[in-house]
Chain A
């Protein structure tokens, strides 16, 4: 099962499917919080010890949707009943709308001697 999900992701990425984000970033933010994604990925999708970074994800939109519905890795899956494709599209738009992080070399606190 896990392998299948990844195969779908890789295929989707390789074909460069769905680059336009149909979703609404504002609604996406509310859904990201309301459905609990923030719990493991952070309010900004920045990632941390409980889940990887999603902000500005490299995944294509349908790759994200498919992953969330079907994963049986360390993330619990959220079925279509729990979160619709349209809601995930909104989340996708929200994640892509996150500001690009600064180059760490320009942040003095990340370059302490």
Chain B
């Protein structure tokens, strides 16, 4: 049993505050003892207050119609004023009492525009949607979470955003005042410091205790999130601060102006040295992971690559380099490089070393895979922000030139430095280099299509067939592959024509599975507003972490074509457990399934098409015959073009 609240059942803090403001001592006596009243006295209120404008008006004027019961503009209305200056278009969130006041202000005072509230079934979905949305628009969203339990749900999504260098603004409601917050559930859901669980993987967090501090915190948080390396920030919002009116102590409130920070570029001396080294190299290779933050990054990288006639390995953290360009290469070319320029690499060590998961004592072994003496240059903004606990910084790699700076912002200076140092002899070599590179490129393309042809008619459907049937239907649209979760042997990157920044959005960042479904919906929302066609390759394991986001897509009319790579397994783990069994020289126990117990999603098979249908999607499946796939995709596309999301449950080969 929780203790009963005051007799009238109204919130005690609000009631007492109202009573104090009106100076109505008898009202206190009527409902609660003086001792209780002292115990429950609200914050910020000295024992005797001078009358404020509201009180004076109440006592000296004939009472007019009551504007509201809280005696002024609520704090959360001011918060909405602040948020509106940042032009945050949506707030995908799961509702909760700790931010009910801000919620109410957004939809009623703020007219549910900028931000528009989007209903989510899971906090991880809200963060994932914001993650995908940003990668299309370059603009962050805000998600509101219930301080403790909601933030606990949100954490994996936040970690993914952190690792993927994506800004997300997380607002966590928290009722701080232990003496005045409701007992029972709201107290279970309150904490001294809610952000402690995300502090290791957010760029910054805060707990403003006044409205003015909130205004500063929000604008500062936005700025920090939007300064490369981007990243999530968390702001804890006291329920009382949201609910109470803007009091006298908050007079003169202002909203700081936001100015977009410029990204940090490399120091000129280092840039010139890098240019010199690049020009001296026989076979320089550029490796890019999250280098192109914007479409301009692609243009710059093409310019640099052509200037040097250097091969480019796009690791795919973002769409960095057109895969149709004759200098585009797979990871293997780094083995022959005498210089590697790494741009925003999350793991430089793994570019020059390999790890084989097959050592003598049950652990793997390392070996070098680059040429001895290879020169290394790194430009990475992430080096400006390394935290201690989570290991997203990967192994330490020594390099010859280290520029902790944003790669895209540094490229213009590097291009200029290369141009100004380039000799005519070096320039003269370019035609020959280009000719050789074009020939090699054509050969690679031929090998890829030959590999794709193997098992073309197989059932379950090969991943190459899946991807090419899909590409065939979308290629004439302004398409965007919003996510490709699970592993389809990288066929889209190998065979689709990827040239624009929105053709490929990268992956989760932290490999926290469950990113694909919500990120697809968030990115599709962004593409909807931009008039683009969104398609997602959706794996089964990923979808089932929080499938409720399908409903969010239907509810908010977000068109998305989701084609499933349903290999009926957490297949990555199938192979891991098999590997362990082999090392240990014992047969793997499959139970009644086709793979190790605990790794298969079968018996019963999940009817994803029915799942999607139940949440307002058009859906079809299971499709096992490759001949049926093309026509089904065509049908689904027509639905998506009419504005409804559509899902195809396709049974696929494992990889």
Establish whether residues B654 and A39, one from each chain, have CB atoms under 8 Å apart when the complex forms: yes
Which residue of the partner chain, among B357, B446, B469, B594, contacts A109 with CB atoms under 8 Å? B469
Determine the distance from Cα of A25 to Cα of B575 in the docked complex, in whole angstroms: 24
Establish whether residues A44 and B458, one from each chain, have CB atoms under 8 Å apart when the complex forms: yes
A16 in contact (CB, < 8 A):
no
Establish whether residues A104 and B449, one from each chain, have CB atoms under 8 Å apart when the complex forms: yes
* Contact indicator per residue, chain B 576-612, by CB within 8 Å of chain A (1) or not (0): 0011001101111000001100000000000000000
Min C-beta distance of B334 to chain A, whole Å: 18
Q: A76-B582, A112-B471 are in contact. Are A107 and B454 (CB under 8 A)?
A: no
* Contact indicator per residue, chain A 101-113, by CB within 8 Å of chain B (1) or not (0): 1111001011110
Determine the distance from Cα of A107 to Cα of B571 in the docked complex, in whole angstroms: 29
Determine the distance from Cα of A89 to Cα of B475 in the docked complex, in whole angstroms: 44
For window 49-77 of chain A, which residues contact chain B by CB distance below 8 Å?
49-51, 53, 55, 71-77
Establish whether residues B358 and A55, one from each chain, have CB atoms under 8 Å apart when the complex forms: no
Q: A46-B455, A107-B456 are in contact. Are A101 and B450 (CB under 8 A)?
A: yes
Determine the distance from Cα of A72 to Cα of B356 in the docked complex, in whole angstroms: 9
Determine the distance from Cα of A81 to Cα of B460 in the docked complex, in whole angstroms: 30
B: interface residue count bin: 35 or more
Min C-beta distance of A18 to chain B, whole Å: 24
Across the A-B interface, how many residue pairs have beta carbons closer than 8 Å? 111
Establish whether residues B460 and A43, one from each chain, have CB atoms under 8 Å apart when the complex forms: yes
Establish whether residues A77 and B582, one from each chain, have CB atoms under 8 Å apart when the complex forms: yes
Give A40's nearest chain B residue, CB to CB. B575
B236 in contact (CB, < 8 A):
no
Establish whether residues B452 and A53, one from each chain, have CB atoms under 8 Å apart when the complex forms: no
B21 in contact (CB, < 8 A):
no
* Contact indicator per residue, chain A 27-43, by CB within 8 Å of chain B (1) or not (0): 00000010010111011
A-chain residues with CB within 8 Å of residue B399 when the two chains form the complex: none
Determine the distance from Cα of A103 to Cα of B475 in the docked complex, in whole angstroms: 23
Q: Which of B453, B454, B469, B655 lies at the interface centre, i.e. has the most chain A CB atoms within 10 A of its CB?
A: B454
Determine the distance from Cα of A76 to Cα of B594 in the docked complex, in whole angstroms: 19
Establish whether residues A109 and B468, one from each chain, have CB atoms under 8 Å apart when the complex forms: yes
A82 in contact (CB, < 8 A):
yes
* Contact indicator per residue, chain B 356-391, by CB within 8 Å of chain A (1) or not (0): 111000000000000000000000000000000000
Which residue of the partner chain, among A46, A73, A77, contacts B462 with CB atoms under 8 Å? A46
Determine the distance from Cα of A64 to Cα of B489 in the docked complex, in whole angstroms: 24
Establish whether residues A112 and B472, one from each chain, have CB atoms under 8 Å apart when the complex forms: yes
* Contact indicator per residue, chain B 461-503, by CB within 8 Å of chain A (1) or not (0): 0110100110110010000000000010110000100000000
Determine the distance from Cα of A40 to Cα of B567 in the docked complex, in whole angstroms: 12
A47 in contact (CB, < 8 A):
yes
B451 in contact (CB, < 8 A):
yes
Which residue of the partner chain, among B453, B594, B595, contacts A103 with CB atoms under 8 Å? B453
Which residue of the partner chain, among B462, B595, B655, contacts A36 with CB atoms under 8 Å? B595
Establish whether residues B454 and A39, one from each chain, have CB atoms under 8 Å apart when the complex forms: no
Give B465's nearest chain A residue, CB to CB. A109
Q: A48-B653, A109-B468, A112-B475 are in contact. Are A74 and B356 (CB under 8 A)?
A: yes
B-chain residues with CB within 8 Å of residue A82 when the two chains form the complex: 582, 585-587
Establish whether residues B487 and A104, one from each chain, have CB atoms under 8 Å apart when the complex forms: no
Q: A48-B489, A101-B454 are in contact. Are A109 and B472 (CB under 8 A)?
A: yes
Establish whether residues A47 and B585, one from each chain, have CB atoms under 8 Å apart when the complex forms: no
Determine the distance from Cα of A39 to Cα of B379 in the docked complex, in whole angstroms: 38
A78 in contact (CB, < 8 A):
yes
A26 in contact (CB, < 8 A):
no
A-chain residues with CB within 8 Å of residue B655 when the two chains form the complex: 40, 42, 48-51
B88 in contact (CB, < 8 A):
no
B-chain residues with CB within 8 Å of residue A72 when the two chains form the complex: 358
For window 82-113 of chain A, which residues contact chain B by CB distance below 8 Å?
82, 98, 101-104, 107, 109-112
Which residue of the partner chain, among B458, B582, B653, contacts A78 with CB atoms under 8 Å? B582
Determine the distance from Cα of A104 to Cα of B445 in the docked complex, in whole angstroms: 11
Q: A43-B460, A73-B358, A112-B475 are in contact. Are A49 and B490 (CB under 8 A)?
A: yes
Determine the distance from Cα of A33 to Cα of B586 in the docked complex, in whole angstroms: 17
B574 in contact (CB, < 8 A):
yes
Establish whether residues B463 and A48, one from each chain, have CB atoms under 8 Å apart when the complex forms: yes
Establish whether residues B454 and A47, one from each chain, have CB atoms under 8 Å apart when the complex forms: yes
Establish whether residues B487 and A49, one from each chain, have CB atoms under 8 Å apart when the complex forms: yes
A: interface residue count bin: 35 or more
Give A37's nearest chain B residue, CB to CB. B578
Establish whether residues A73 and B356, one from each chain, have CB atoms under 8 Å apart when the complex forms: yes
Which residue of the partner chain, among A39, A74, A76, A103, contacts B571 with CB atoms under 8 Å? A39
Min C-beta distance of A80 to chain B, whole Å: 10
Establish whether residues A53 and B358, one from each chain, have CB atoms under 8 Å apart when the complex forms: no
Establish whether residues B653 and A43, one from each chain, have CB atoms under 8 Å apart when the complex forms: yes
Establish whether residues A110 and B453, one from each chain, have CB atoms under 8 Å apart when the complex forms: yes
Which residue of the partner chain, among A36, A53, A77, contacts B451 with CB atoms under 8 Å? A53
Establish whether residues A76 and B653, one from each chain, have CB atoms under 8 Å apart when the complex forms: no
Give A83's nearest chain B residue, CB to CB. B587
Min C-beta distance of B18 to chain A, whole Å: 65
Determine the distance from Cα of A110 to Cα of B467 in the docked complex, in whole angstroms: 11
Determine the distance from Cα of A99 to Cα of B613 in the docked complex, in whole angstroms: 38
Determine the distance from Cα of A70 to Cα of B446 in the docked complex, in whole angstroms: 33
Give A68's nearest chain B residue, CB to CB. B582
Determine the distance from Cα of A103 to Cα of B453 in the docked complex, in whole angstroms: 7
Q: A36-B595, A101-B455 are in contact. Are A42 and B653 (CB under 8 A)?
A: yes
Which residue of the partner chain, among A39, A46, A107, contacts B458 with CB atoms under 8 Å? A46
Establish whether residues B653 and A39, one from each chain, have CB atoms under 8 Å apart when the complex forms: no
Establish whether residues A44 and B588, one from each chain, have CB atoms under 8 Å apart when the complex forms: no
Q: A78-B582, A101-B453, A102-B453 are in contact. Are A50 and B472 (CB under 8 A)?
A: no
Establish whether residues A39 and B578, one from each chain, have CB atoms under 8 Å apart when the complex forms: yes
A-chain residues with CB within 8 Å of residue B489 when the two chains form the complex: 48-50
Determine the distance from Cα of A42 to Cα of B487 in the docked complex, in whole angstroms: 13
Min C-beta distance of B33 to chain A, whole Å: 71
Q: A43-B653, A79-B585, A81-B585 are in contact. Are A74 and B357 (CB under 8 A)?
A: yes
Q: A43-B653, A48-B463, A72-B358 are in contact. Are A53 and B454 (CB under 8 A)?
A: yes
B-chain residues with CB within 8 Å of residue A104 when the two chains form the complex: 446, 449-450, 452-453
Establish whether residues A47 and B453, one from each chain, have CB atoms under 8 Å apart when the complex forms: no
B-chain residues with CB within 8 Å of residue A98 when the two chains form the complex: 455
B-chain residues with CB within 8 Å of residue A109 when the two chains form the complex: 465, 468-469, 471-472
Q: Can you list 6 A-B contacts (CB < 8 A)?
A: A44-B458, A50-B489, A50-B654, A73-B358, A76-B358, A101-B456
Closest 9 pairs (CB-CB, A-B): A46-B455, A76-B582, A48-B655, A104-B449, A48-B489, A44-B455, A49-B489, A46-B454, A109-B468
Starting from the known contacts A40-B654, A50-B575, A51-B655, 20 additional A-B residue pairs (CB-CB under 8 Å) come to A39-B654, A40-B575, A40-B655, A44-B462, A46-B462, A46-B653, A48-B463, A49-B489, A49-B655, A53-B451, A101-B453, A101-B454, A101-B455, A102-B456, A104-B446, A104-B449, A104-B450, A107-B449, A109-B469, A110-B495
